[in-house]
A and B are shown apart, each in its own frame.
Chain A
Amino acid sequence: MEKFTPFESRMVMILRDNIDTDQIIPARFLKTISKVGLGDQLFYDWRYDAEGKPKPDFVLNQPESKACQVLLAGDNFGCGSSREHAPWALTQYGFRAVISTSFADIFKGNSLKNSLLPIVVPHDAHVELMQNPDARVKVDLASQTLTLPSGRKVEFPVDSFARHCLLEGIDELGYIQQQESAIAAYEASHPAAIDTRA
């Protein structure tokens, strides 16, 4: 995993509450066996018409959105299905952070494992961001600060372990594997309740 570094970017805004992962990537695209090639399917049903042509009025189809690395969304972003295809599609489009007032649990966990930073801001900062559609923000994970267009810095919460993994580029599976002796000890003292192969 690459280390998560500070960056500055213009925002793309999709100002709806409760954006579910079925909107982020519809289920019919989950038949893939690959992790890649999902960026074009991001928000597919909002982004393309019935013939599959891009809708010019949808924000992700506007040329200036292509370089944006931050998505500003409404409350409870990423609710619904556990599909990790959602953060895969978001990062493959080019996003490195999503700003909202809250995130669904599974989406948040999936995002942090894919170097997509879920940034929770208080309501007043969210309102300030919504009022500045063309503005740029600065994201600094090390100091856990988001710099608003006004220059005001807002601290955001991040689980300390996830932050450490992102900043250092540490892969969680590697971390779990380092605890092999504890896992083996647990197994030795806890006989399995089932054998699925029996």
Chain B
Amino acid sequence: MSKPRTIIEKIWDNHVVAERPDAPSLLYIDLHLVHEVTSPQAFDGLRARGLKVRRPDLTIATTDHSTPTTPRGFPILDKIAATQVEKLIQNCKDFGIHCYPLGSDKQGIVHVIGPELGLTQPGMTVVCGDSHTATHGALGALAIGIGTSEVEHVLATQCLLLKRSKTYRVRVDGALKPGVSAKDIILALIARIGIGGATGSIFEYCGSAIRSLSMEERMTVCNMSIEGGARAGLVAPDDTTYQYVAGRQFAPQGARGDQALARWRQLPTDDGATYDKSITIDAASLEPMITFGTNPGMGIPIRGAVPNPTDITDPLERDSLARALVYMDLPPGKPLLGHPVNVVFIGSCTNSRISDLRIAASVLKGRKVSPHVRVLVVPGSQQVKEQAQAEGLDQIFRDAGADWREAGCSMCIAMNGDQLEPGQYSVSTSNRNFEGRQGKGGRTFLASPMTAAASAISGKVSDVRELL
């Protein structure tokens, strides 16, 4: 009998094109997602070398990062962003790549549209010039964020040179309490291991709590794998996965669908397979989480206290925490609960799918957002937007006093017009709270859509469980 393998090793082995001594593996890539920000220099590289895109049929493009979320008829006022968006469309035309541009009913955040269109499938290797590519791991794919040089490599050869990573099992067992969500699982994991805790590793999320998550909730968990330093993160496919994929635009149909399903059922980790590292989390012990600092590892339970730098012995670590609290203008040792907020952002590749919007709407329904708070609700794709509108969610958001926008990365990355003013505080469902991430001088508290909606109503960092 062959050695038991994890799903990570199985997908890897299935995609090795060549392995030479003293070189990384050459892996074949099944799906390459392209967006406007990390691709123009790669296309220029192809032109300079006189190369074509090897597999335009495995490549898809959309605009999301530098694109405004204002009504689609409006021109892009930022000339530099407009040039970048036009450049992507031109590059796609020149190299024969299908693009869902601004104005398309399929446009959206790359990590939302890949699964939504059925492009992302179990067992695939997926790459994108974006660190949140691990999102696609929710479907049981090995999905890796890459740099622009690698975007060029994959465009030219459909292959990626990659060293094997360590395997890291994240087992989450038990049932989440009301008010606690997938976002809280991942924020709790990162708070526990730190933002470099999984450097050199790929997570496999497993356990009964992960199994009971919907596909979209699994995407939220996998999305933030990079915030723990992991190269990727995935969940082995199961019936939840197969039901999600079935019937989507690019999903295999009929006999091809049956064959695919038979292959996908071989993917889950074998009994007896071992991991390089392991951690176990008890889902029932988790509280709603919120970050207080300037990296996603600086998270606490919503009723917890901000840590005190004087409790830390390592000088650089202590200094990091002290600097973070100065930047955030927060006193050590005090709870965040009740801290005033200026902006609430519900969106991003972490939490902009229909289930995220439904749960935010369920909290906001029949309530008003605080008059002191600007609330942006930004669907992850035009299809999510259409669905939300069909369900009347947009009306719930508007009635509550929130701003209902067009699809894009929006205030997660603040390079598209949506941003914080210096000194402002946000509760944000996005993935990063780095200094200036949501706008120069802006201060971000990362949390779940439920926590964000509750905080929008009170105008303060709030515990959603008081509203349930």
Q: In B274-309, which residues have CB < 8 Å from any A CB?
A: 295, 297
Asked if B157 is at the interface (CB within 8 A of a chain A CB), the reply is: yes
Expressed in whole angstroms, the minimum distance between the Cβ of B56 and any Cβ of chain A is: 7
Asked if A160 is at the interface (CB within 8 A of a chain B CB), the reply is: yes
How far apart are the CA atoms of A15 and B322 in the complex, in Å?
13
B18-46 toward A: CB 8 Å interface, digit per residue (1/0)?
10001110101011000001101100110
- Given contacts A28-B414, A164-B22, A182-B17, A16 and B319 within 8 Å (CB-CB): yes
Residues of the A chain whose Cβ atoms lie less than 8 Å from the Cβ of B320: 16-18, 74
- Which chain A residue shows the least CB distance to B228? A79
Residues of the B chain whose Cβ atoms lie less than 8 Å from the Cβ of A104: 196, 199, 229
- Given contacts A23-B435, A109-B147, A161-B23, A196 and B250 within 8 Å (CB-CB): yes
Task: Kindly identify which residue among B41, B49, B158, B323 contacts A16, using a CB–CB cutoff of 8 Å.
Answer: B323
How far apart are the CA atoms of A122 and B208 in the complex, in Å?
39
Asked if A159 is at the interface (CB within 8 A of a chain B CB), the reply is: yes
In contact, A79 and B147 (Cβ under 8 angstroms) = no
How far apart are the CA atoms of A177 and B49 in the complex, in Å?
12
In contact, B295 and A194 (Cβ under 8 angstroms) = no
- Given contacts A81-B131, A182-B26, A27 and B84 within 8 Å (CB-CB): no
In contact, B157 and A176 (Cβ under 8 angstroms) = yes
Q: In A166-198, which residues have CB < 8 Å from any B CB?
A: 172-173, 175-177, 179, 182-183, 186-187, 190, 192-198
Residues of the A chain whose Cβ atoms lie less than 8 Å from the Cβ of B159: 176, 179, 183
How far apart are the CA atoms of A114 and B97 in the complex, in Å?
27
Asked if A106 is at the interface (CB within 8 A of a chain B CB), the reply is: yes
Task: Kindly identify which residue among A27, A82, A186, A187 contacts B131, using a CB–CB cutoff of 8 Å.
Answer: A82
In contact, A84 and B147 (Cβ under 8 angstroms) = yes
A70-103 toward B: CB 8 Å interface, digit per residue (1/0)?
0000111001111110000000000000000011
Asked if B5 is at the interface (CB within 8 A of a chain A CB), the reply is: no
In contact, A17 and B316 (Cβ under 8 angstroms) = yes
Residues of the A chain whose Cβ atoms lie less than 8 Å from the Cβ of B22: 160-161, 164
Task: Kindly identify which residue among A45, A74, A173 contacts B435, using a CB–CB cutoff of 8 Å.
Answer: A45
Asked if A110 is at the interface (CB within 8 A of a chain B CB), the reply is: yes
Residues of the A chain whose Cβ atoms lie less than 8 Å from the Cβ of B465: none
Task: Kindly identify which residue among B23, B24, B435 contacts A22, using a CB–CB cutoff of 8 Å.
Answer: B435
How far apart are the CA atoms of A34 and B43 in the complex, in Å?
11
Residues of the A chain whose Cβ atoms lie less than 8 Å from the Cβ of B464: none
Expressed in whole angstroms, the minimum distance between the Cβ of A127 and any Cβ of chain B is: 9
Residues of the B chain whose Cβ atoms lie less than 8 Å from the Cβ of A114: 149
* Interface 9-mer from B57-65, B354-362, B376-384: B57-65
- Given contacts A45-B435, A79-B196, A183-B157, A196 and B323 within 8 Å (CB-CB): no
In contact, A33 and B84 (Cβ under 8 angstroms) = yes
- Given contacts A80-B131, A173-B152, A106 and B147 within 8 Å (CB-CB): yes
A102-118 toward B: CB 8 Å interface, digit per residue (1/0)?
11111001100110000
How far apart are the CA atoms of A35 and B145 in the complex, in Å?
19
Residues of the A chain whose Cβ atoms lie less than 8 Å from the Cβ of B57: 192, 194-197
Asked if A155 is at the interface (CB within 8 A of a chain B CB), the reply is: no
Asked if A32 is at the interface (CB within 8 A of a chain B CB), the reply is: yes
Task: Kindly identify which residue among A32, A173, A186, A197 contacts B156, using a CB–CB cutoff of 8 Å.
Answer: A173
* Interface 9-mer from B75-83, B170-178, B391-399, B445-453: B75-83
Residues of the A chain whose Cβ atoms lie less than 8 Å from the Cβ of B28: 183, 186-187, 190
A4-29 toward B: CB 8 Å interface, digit per residue (1/0)?
00000000000111101011001110
Asked if A154 is at the interface (CB within 8 A of a chain B CB), the reply is: no
In contact, B80 and A23 (Cβ under 8 angstroms) = no
In contact, A196 and B295 (Cβ under 8 angstroms) = no
In contact, B161 and A172 (Cβ under 8 angstroms) = yes
In contact, B18 and A75 (Cβ under 8 angstroms) = no
Task: Kindly identify which residue among A15, A22, A83 contacts B436, using a CB–CB cutoff of 8 Å.
Answer: A22
- Which chain A residue shows the least CB distance to B156? A173
Q: Of residues B55, B121, B316, B414, which shows the largest number of chain A Cβ atoms within 10 Å of its Cβ? A: B316
Asked if A31 is at the interface (CB within 8 A of a chain B CB), the reply is: yes
Expressed in whole angstroms, the minimum distance between the Cβ of A18 and any Cβ of chain B is: 5
Q: List 29 A-B contacts (CB under 8 A).
A: A17-B319, A23-B435, A23-B436, A27-B414, A30-B415, A31-B78, A35-B44, A45-B435, A80-B432, A80-B434, A81-B432, A82-B130, A84-B38, A102-B199, A104-B229, A106-B131, A109-B150, A161-B161, A173-B45, A173-B49, A176-B153, A176-B156, A183-B157, A193-B30, A193-B252, A194-B57, A194-B119, A194-B121, A196-B56
Give the 3 A-B residue pairs with the shortest CB-CB distance, closest first: A76-B196, A33-B40, A110-B147
Beyond A176-B153, A183-B157, 11 extra complex contacts between A and B, CB < 8 Å: A17-B317, A27-B415, A31-B83, A80-B434, A110-B149, A159-B163, A161-B161, A182-B26, A192-B57, A194-B30, A195-B57
A residues near B, CB below 8 A?
15-18, 20, 22-23, 26-28, 30-35, 45, 50, 74-76, 79-84, 102-106, 109-110, 113-114, 159-161, 164, 172-173, 175-177, 179, 182-183, 186-187, 190, 192-198
